[in-house]
Amino acid sequence: MTEYLATGGLPDEYEQLRKTVADFARTVVAPVAAEHDAAHTFPYEVVAGMADMGLFGLPFPEEYGGMGGDYFALCLALEELGKVDQSVAITLEAGVSLGAMPIYRFGTDAQKEEWLPQLASGRNLAAFGLTEPGAGSDAGGTKTTAKLDGGEWVINGNKQFITNSGTDITSLVTVTAVTGVRDNGKKEISTILVPASTPGFTAEPAYNKVGWNASDTHPLTFADVRVPEENLLGERGRGYANFLRILDEGRIAIAALSTGAAQGCVDESVKYAKEREAFGSPIGSNQAIAFKIARMEARAHTARTAYYDAAAAMLAGRPFKKQAAIAKLVASEAAMDNARDATQIHGGYGFMNEYAVARHYRDSKILEIGEGTTEVQLMLVGRELGL
């Protein structure tokens, strides 16, 4: 994908997708973003519109109800949505890369046939239950357990910060759980599919968050939740390794979302700097403002180049762990830095929640935390360098 930047444009099919999503973001998402953010309401009508466009099925084959595209196509959509509303963008990102993708990557034929069509259509959402009160970056600290009993898994434990887990259209949560102990004494962690209607499964009241207020996020409780043994997703004991693969891919998607947020701050700042006058001229004519916006544009461009490069490596079947970590690191920091600078450029208006830059200021911090903190990305890059 990096060659596309060098040649000045994307192939027609990618560019048409980008333009279509950009138009949807501008005409459908942006007008209601402030309202949903203020009310902390999930934008069902926007999600339905994305479903109608086929965005939830972008990287999946047509045989499962998908659009037959690829992960880069998903990333382009996320960047355009992220420019105007991160809550909407993360709903799509989590629904696809964390919700449906584990089933596509590791599911049996029967699991794919049962779950993927509804998830790819966007009629339903799935969530990925990984993080726990005592197991965030240290996912190996998982305490949720799953024990076999009469051909069923009995699951007990708690998860937290789980996106898309409590909406009216949530149909499934994939749960990491300790299913035994290995010969070396370490935990055997597996992943298990839990339908949202299963008795004992509870999506607790939603969090009161700093940002991403229109995104659905809940703590989850599993109290003697029983699901069939065949709901095991992938090989028993491979849950830890499989979720690492999912997170590597997801970091590219989060980098794309972050790039959109960074670029959205540039776009809003350019517009404001041309319109806002002080001391008899537009503030953009002042070098201090112009230089600040120029640095913001450089950050967004660098972030875009990084996630394009990571996506290219992934789709070519090459190792991409380091590139994904770099992309996530660079793009999330670009989003946060640009949000801070955009708020400063807007002055008092930047502190008002109805302005997009104010939402980006509140929303962007989580980009440096979710799906691997900044520190985790630095650790991964260091390891890939042999350190």
381: closest CA among 254, 258, 251? Answer: 251
- For the record, the structure tokens of 300 come out as 């967004």
Query: Is pLDDT above 90 for 184?
Result: no
> Can you give the pLDDT at residue 2?
56
pLDDT, tens digit, 9 for 90 and up, residues 222-250? 999 999 999 999 999 998 889 889 999 99
Catalytic residue among 62, 188, 371, 375: 371
Q: Taking the CA of residue 26 as centre, how many other CA atoms within 13 Å lie in the half-sphere pointing to its CB?
A: 9
Amino acid present at 72? F
pLDDT band, residue 154 (cuts 50/70/90): very high
> Can you give the pLDDT at residue 7?
56
How far, in whole angstroms, is CA 140 from its chain's centroid?
A: 21
Specify burial of residue 296 (Cβ count, 10 A radius: 0-12, 13-18, 19+).
buried
CA distance 352 to 146: 47
pLDDT, tens digit, 9 for 90 and up, residues 296-345? 999 999 999 999 999 999 999 999 999 999 999 999 999 999 999 999 99
pLDDT, tens digit, 9 for 90 and up, residues 266-283? 999 999 999 999 999 999
In percent, the amount of the chain with pLDDT more than 70 equals 98
Q: Give me the mean pLDDT over the 61-83 stretch.
A: 97
> Can you give the pLDDT at residue 135?
80
Within 85-186, where are the H helices?
86-93, 101-106, 109-121
Query: Is pLDDT above 70 for 144?
Result: yes
- Assess whether 188 carries a catalytic annotation: no
Q: Give me the mean pLDDT over the 60-77 stretch.
A: 96
3-state secondary structure of 196: coil
Specify burial of residue 149 (Cβ count, 10 A radius: 0-12, 13-18, 19+).
exposed
> Can you give the pLDDT at residue 6?
53
> Can you give the pLDDT at residue 212?
98
Q: Give me the mean pLDDT over the 206-216 stretch.
A: 97
Cβ atoms of 213 and 207 closer than 8 Å:
no
Cβ atoms of 113 and 217 closer than 8 Å:
no
CA distance 57 to 170: 16
> Can you give the pLDDT at residue 283?
93
> Can you give the pLDDT at residue 3?
59
User: Which residues make beta-bridge pairs with 128?
Assistant: 174
Query: Is pLDDT above 60 for 359?
Result: yes
> Can you give the pLDDT at residue 234?
96
Residues 6+ apart with CB under 8 A from 267: 83
- For the record, the structure tokens of 361 come out as 């200021």
Ordered domains of the chain (ranges, CATH) = 2-125 (1.10.540.10), 127-238 (2.40.110.10), 241-384 (1.20.140.10)
> Can you give the pLDDT at residue 41?
98
How far, in whole angstroms, is CA 255 from its chain's centroid?
A: 9
Query: Is pLDDT above 60 for 67?
Result: yes
Query: Is pLDDT above 80 for 24?
Result: yes
The DSSP line for 372-385 is S-HHHHHHHHHHHT
CA distance 250 to 256: 10
pLDDT band, residue 178 (cuts 50/70/90): very high
pLDDT, tens digit, 9 for 90 and up, residues 3-18? 555 555 799 999 999 9
> Can you give the pLDDT at residue 366?
97
Query: Is pLDDT above 60 for 37?
Result: yes
Least confident of 111-120, 138-147, 218-227: 138-147
CA distance 103 to 128: 11
pLDDT, tens digit, 9 for 90 and up, residues 364-376? 999 999 989 999 9
